[in-house]
Structure 1
Amino acid sequence: MSHFSRIKTSITNVEVLQKTLQDLKFECSIGKSQLKDSNGNLEYVDIVAKKNNKNIIGFLWNRTEYIFISDFGLWQDYQNMYPENIIEKILQQYAINSIIRSSNTEGFKTIEKQKLTNGSIKLVLQRWS
């Protein structure tokens, strides 16, 4: 029996996802690859995120969005990362990167990015006419 968890996301942009994973200190590989769970079962994915040369997260494109795939049992090796929080961190960083990218396209420049005590992020953008 597979130990993979699958979580539907609203992630649609591969470039923003790749930047997000790099921001969170993952090595990222785009292209067909596979994840292996703790039982040796394989799952084919389109994007792999690695830590310590181990494939620990995958993303599968379903023609609408990316599905997050991971075996949370493999996370015991990463004491400073908790599987239940990592998807939240990925989605938050993805949202920040999407806003910055869209804003830059519209002529805005990021002036300040600050993490608040409640865990939210404050972005200050500026555009001169």
Structure 2
Amino acid sequence: MSHFSRIKTSIKDFEILQKTLKDLNYKYTCGKNYLYDSNNNLQNVDLMIHNNQPNMLGFSWDGQEYNLVTDLQLWNEGMSIQRFMDKILQKYALNSILNVSVKEGFKEIKQKINKDGSIQLVIQRWN
């Protein structure tokens, strides 16, 4: 029996996902990658994160978004899965906003991380 868990996300842009992981200092590989669970079952993923335990964490496209795929029984990231996902999704949202803003002619002026973990972003555009 497989122990893989698929955690739904709102991640749709592969390039922004890659930038997000790079910004958070995660090493990863793209392409045909395989994860292993605690029973040595295989799961194909589109992007595999190289963490403390190799071949244990990745993202897989479901036709609409990228889902996090992992064996929660072997989770060993030094933080909860919820905290990990919150970190990824917050940085992904920031990168998405910056990506669209640049395309619309805006420039990032200031970025501040508040004590509560929220991010304050100031952008501007000159006509």
Q: Normalised by the size of structure 2, how large is the TM-score?
A: 0.91
Distance apart, 1:55 and its partner CA:
2.9
Contact kept? 2:51, 2:57, Cα under 8 Å: no
Number of the residue aligned with 1:11:
11
- CA 1:114/1:56 → structure 2, altered by over 3 Å: closer, same or farther? farther
SS at match of 1:85: helix
Q: Which moved more, 1:96-105 or 1:27-36?
A: 27-36
Which consecutive residues of structure 1, in runs of 5 or more, have no partner in the other structure? Answer: none
2:98 equivalent to 1:91: no
Distance apart, 1:53 and its partner CA:
7.2
Distance apart, 1:52 and its partner CA:
4.7
| Partners of 2:100 and 2:38 in 1: CA distance | 39
Q: Residue 124 of structure 1: which of 108, 117, 122 is its match? A: 122
Q: Deviations over 1:39-76 (max 9, x none)?
A: 21111111111125723321111121111111223333
SS at match of 2:86: helix
2:26 equivalent to 1:26: yes
Identity of aligned residues (%): 50
| Partners of 1:102 and 1:53 in 2: CA distance | 35
Once the two structures are superposed, the pairs formed by residues 1-129 of structure 1 within 5 Å of their partners are 1-52=1-52, 54-76=54-76, 78-79=77-78, 81-129=79-127
| Partners of 2:8 and 2:53 in 1: CA distance | 25
Which consecutive residues of structure 2, in runs of 5 or more, have no partner in the other structure? Answer: none
Distance apart, 1:24 and its partner CA:
1.4
**Matched length:** 127
Root-mean-square deviation (CA, aligned residues, Å) is 1.5
Q: Deviations over 1:2-38 (max 9, x none)?
A: 2211111111100000001111111121112111112
- CA 1:97/1:125 → structure 2, altered by over 3 Å: closer, same or farther? same
